[in-house]
């Protein structure tokens, strides 16, 4: 199962294309008109949301007056961005926003997540995931099966060797652990699994107890801060929703979410400190 997806080269293409356009003094709308692209397509290219074809790279480099060397680099990156991640084998069950997210996650060196209502996908056992997806997808057994397979396959991120697994810090509200699925044995397996994975050297799971009261992250929804090892690859905040995800890259936005995470983390407690009936066997 390949460990990397196409997101990083796509983002590099988009970032370099934006830099070339700005250096040429061309607005996004003017570039779109010259290239006969829609504004939405230009936006998606520059944000690394879609792969770029070779002839589009050549056309854009021509408009931006990029040199031959930069054009060659961008063509190579564009070709690399067409590589498919392991999740493509599951077809339509993987939405476009998740494809972008999981590709970025595969390239990250550190993940910091806050989960207000569900066990995070990286920690879900099969029984818990099946209950979640059955509620979301209904009685389509094939869709549920494939969605669960993607979720379980995704978790290999935590144990991979090459590249080195990222450092992962996850905070969950206490209510997440108390909100049980009907399958009692499945829920016990889920809680035991969370305890077990939290013993890995690269994984920390913390709980925000009810006693902490209303906290800074409470109004933020589920979010993940992704840090990347390469300096030129900006860190990102992903905010998840049912219909998609928003990606924040502005330094002020990322800094604010780091501050929210740090302040909330200070209120959290180690998983092992919770009541035995909550996280025990």
3-state secondary structure of 117: coil
**Is pTM beyond 0.75 here?**
no
Q: pLDDT tens digit string along 200-241?
A: 999 999 999 999 999 999 888 899 999 988 776 788 899 987
Distances (CA, A) of 7 to 4, 63, 102, 108, 240: 8, 25, 8, 11, 18
CATH class of 7-80: mainly alpha
Mean pLDDT of the chain: 86
pLDDT value at position 92?
60
Residue range 119-148: mean pLDDT, rounded: 93
Q: What value does the mean pLDDT take over residues 34-59? A: 90
Q: Which residue has the higher pLDDT, 162 or 96?
A: 162
Q: For the chain, which residues make up each domain, given as ranges?
A: 7-80, 95-119+159-279
Query: Whole-angstrom Cα distance, residue 249 to residue 225?
Result: 10
What secondary structure does DSSP assign to 3-41, as a single string?
Answer: S--SHHHHHHHHHHHHHHHHHTT--HHHHHHHHT--HHH
Domain 95-119+159-279 has CATH 1.10.357.10: no
- Do 95-119+159-279 and 7-80 fall under one CATH topology? no
DSSP annotation string for 79-113: HHTTPPPGGGGGGGGS-HHHHHHHHHHHH-SEEEE
User: What are φ and ψ of residue 159, in 5° steps?
Assistant: -120, 0
pLDDT score at 4: 41
For residues 50 and 193, the model is more confident at: 193
DSSP state of 156: G
Average of per-residue pLDDT across 148-158: 91
Tell me the mean pLDDT in the region 44-57. Answer: 87
Per-residue confidence (pLDDT) for residue 91, from 0 to 100: 56
Q: Is the pLDDT of residue 276 over 60?
A: yes
Average pLDDT, integer, range 81-98: 61
For residue 3, pLDDT over 50 is answered with: no
pLDDT given at position 96? 61
Using 50, 70 and 90 to split pLDDT, how confident is the model at 5?
very low
């Amino acid at each position: 199962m390949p460990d990397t997806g196409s997101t990083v080269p796509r983002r590099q293409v988009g970032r370099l294309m934006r830099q070339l356009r700005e250096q040429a003094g061309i607005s996004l709308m003017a570039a779109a008109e010259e290239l006969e692209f829609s504004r939405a397509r230009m936006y998606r290219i520059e944000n690394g949301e879609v792969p770029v074809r070779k002839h589009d790279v050549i056309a854009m480099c021509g408009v931006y007056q990029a040199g031959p060397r930069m054009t060659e680099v961008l063509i190579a990156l564009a070709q690399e961005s067409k590589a498919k991640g392991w999740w493509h084998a599951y077809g339509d069950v993987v939405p476009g926003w998740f494809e972008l997210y999981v590709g970025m996650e595969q390239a990250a060196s550190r993940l910091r997540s806050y989960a207000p209502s569900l066990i995070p996908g990286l920690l879900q056992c099969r029984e818990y995931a099946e209950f979640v997806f059955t509620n979301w997808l209904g009685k389509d057994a094939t869709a549920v099966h494939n969605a669960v397979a993607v979720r379980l396959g995704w978790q290999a991120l935590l144990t991979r060797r090459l590249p080195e697994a990222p450092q992962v810090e996850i905070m969950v509200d206490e209510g997440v652990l108390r909100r049980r699925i009907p399958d009692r044995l499945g829920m016990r397996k889920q809680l035991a699994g969370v305890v077990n994975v939290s013993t890995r050297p690269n994984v920390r799971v913390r709980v925000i107890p009810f006693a902490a009261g209303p906290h800074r992250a409470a109004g933020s929804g589920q979010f993940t801060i992704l840090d990347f090892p390469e300096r030129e690859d900006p860190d990102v905040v992903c905010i998840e929703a049912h219909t998609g995800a928003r990606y924040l890259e502005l330094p002020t936005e990322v800094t604010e979410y780091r501050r929210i995470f740090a302040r909330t983390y200070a209120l959290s407690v180690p998983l092992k400190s919770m009541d035995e009936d909550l996280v025990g066997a």
